[in-house]
Amino acid sequence: MPLDDILARIEAGEEIPASLLVGDLVLSEPAGRRVAEAIAQRAGCQVVVRRRPPHLARVLEDLRTFSLFDPAKVILVIETALLADKAAAADLIDQAAEVGQVDEDSELSGKETEAASRLLQALRLFGVAPDVGTPEQVLSKMPDWVYFGGAAFRKKRKNRARGKKQAADLRAGLVMLLEKARDAELLGYAEGDLADLSALIRDGLPKGHSLVLVESSVADEHPIKEALVQAKAFAAVGSVEFDRRGQVDGLRELATELARSTGKTMRPDAVQELARRTLRKSPQRGKQSQMDAESTGRFAAEYRKLATMVDGDTIDRIAVSGSVEDRGEEDVWKVLDEVGEGKVGAAVSRLRRLLDSADDTMGARLSTFSLLADFARQLVAVQGLLRDTGAPVGQRNYNQFKNSVAPTLQRDLAGGLLNPVGKLHPFRLHRVYLAASRHQSTDLARLLPRLLETEMALKGESGAAESALVELVTELGAGRPAPSRL
């Protein structure tokens, strides 16, 4: 149901005991606040906010009782993770682990209580009761993969997970945290919370009492979500993600919400520039179209900062360029696309931006070099195939290349030799082919020695590692016109 329809129902005086707003937190949290404040205004009370509560039981119990001081109660709960996909458990475990070793003889500190709540949320996702069995037994009921690291953890480690021993050590280290959480009675059952929430949706609450849930993600076909859809109390308020062309979907909604909350609008070209400087893809494998949640938060923070800095009601591109550090997404494959098309200046600019925005500069240099080296070897191979097969060079139309040139380049070689580009995707092959069409054989004779020089520079034999990569990209992208047939 659209958010405006839910707000209209509240304005018309309808009672909505429970509602659910789902989407990127930059969008869903303000939407949840608007719903909660609309209900509270009609009920004559204040909104109580609970962020990442260790369990819902006490919140729901509080909602069922009348207050001596307020005529009603409206509680806004942000990110319970109770309804999330189970894959979110790995991130919750990583957040719990950040607290480090818990002192056995001391009560939980505020930071440790927060960590314990993350651990309990992870257990809930798998329906594991945290107080049935020893802490070791409880933790062993979650699958091993949750201890190997979530998206944010792997991003910091160049997409590497924990090893088996590290995962086992992590699980052992969480035993005391769970034990202390049990001692402090920070317990809640997944089944109990879900059952109570389901009953609340079914039976309602006292007049003027309402629960507003805000979640960044909800598992598809979750029964609680389905129940709230049926009750017309669910709204997907928008997500921000990359489409197949690398453009950002949901950017307009993001800018509209921030304009509403700050009172300052941003020009469309400034919005695009701010997105370019801040937004990055999720590092989680298999979810590369999704946005890194931290980067949408950075987009919002930079927007709010600019809103306080500029005079007038509009933020322009000059303000963005002058005040926001460029830490946005850059795709190494686009560097190769520019190289393939001979756009050396654009390729070098993308390369520098890719390295400047990397969390691990050395890792980014090495991984980029690996792709460039593969590209160089394929380039040499394709030029040899062009010469041996007599295939035409310089065919820029991809469809014509795919139908007439690619089959010649990818056919089986005489003597049963392996064709080095035989299994390369035609689109990738076309990019290499275009570069090979611009190079003469005398140019490529130096290419393989250049790879060795670049690798040595990257691994410490030169103080100019980035310059070595730039020179390699320049050499790959440049070239002299080759004859029509090689």
Residue 462 pLDDT:
53
pLDDT tens sequence across 37-75:
999 999 889 999 998 887 788 888 888 877 666 788 999
Question: Per DSSP, what are the bridge partners of residue 299?
Answer: none
**Domain with 245 in it: what CATH number?**
1.10.8
Do 377 and 267 share a structural domain? no
Do 40 and 53 share a structural domain? yes
Task: Using the 3D structure, point to which of 238, 268, 283 is the last residue of a domain.
Answer: 238
CB-based burial, 184-219: b 16+ in 10 Å, e otherwise: eebbbbbebbbebbeebbeeebeebbbbbbbbbbbb
Asked if the structure places residue 298 within a domain, the reply is: yes
Backbone angles phi, psi at 4, to 5 degrees: -60, -30
Do 258 and 230 share a structural domain? no
Asked if the structure places residue 483 within a domain, the reply is: no
Residue 284 pLDDT:
52
Q: Which residue has the tokens 């290499």?
A: 432
Backbone angles phi, psi at 166, to 5 degrees: -65, -40
Backbone angles phi, psi at 266, to 5 degrees: -125, 135
Do 259 and 110 share a structural domain? no
Do 341 and 274 share a structural domain? no
Asked if the structure places residue 41 within a domain, the reply is: yes
What does pTM read for this prediction? 0.56
Angle (CA) 353-358-363 rounded to 5° is 120
Asked if the structure places residue 381 within a domain, the reply is: yes
Task: Using the 3D structure, point to which of 238, 258, 283 is the last residue of a domain.
Answer: 238
Contact 271, 251 (CB under 8 A): yes
Asked if the structure places residue 482 within a domain, the reply is: no
Interatomic CA distance for residues 192 and 179, integer angstroms: 20
Give the torsion through C-alpha atoms of 407, 408, 413, 419, to 10 deg.
-60
Do 303 and 372 share a structural domain? no
Interatomic CA distance for residues 184 and 396, integer angstroms: 69
* Helix (H) or strand (E) run with residue 248 in it: strand 248-249
Interatomic CA distance for residues 279 and 291, integer angstroms: 7
Query: Domain total for the chain?
Result: 3
Do 381 and 451 share a structural domain? yes
Domain housing 426 = 332-477
Residues of the chain with pLDDT under 70: 67-69, 85-86, 125, 158-159, 187-192, 244-246, 282-291, 293, 328-331, 357, 359, 441-445, 461-463, 479-486
Asked if the structure places residue 291 within a domain, the reply is: yes
CB burial of residue 27 (10 Å; 0-12, 13-18, 19+): buried
Task: Using the 3D structure, point to which of 176, 206, 238 is the last residue of a domain.
Answer: 238
Do 247 and 234 share a structural domain? no
Question: What's the one-letter identity of residue 323?
Answer: S
pLDDT tens sequence across 419-445:
888 888 888 899 888 888 877 766 666
Residue 325 pLDDT:
78
Do 247 and 222 share a structural domain? no
Residue 259 pLDDT:
92
Do 433 and 395 share a structural domain? yes
Do 222 and 169 share a structural domain? yes
Interatomic CA distance for residues 243 and 301, integer angstroms: 23
Q: How many residues are there in the chain?
A: 486
Strands (E), 36-126: 47-51, 74-78
Do 468 and 339 share a structural domain? yes
Asked if the structure places residue 93 within a domain, the reply is: yes
pLDDT tens sequence across 225-236:
888 998 899 999
Asked if the structure places residue 164 within a domain, the reply is: yes
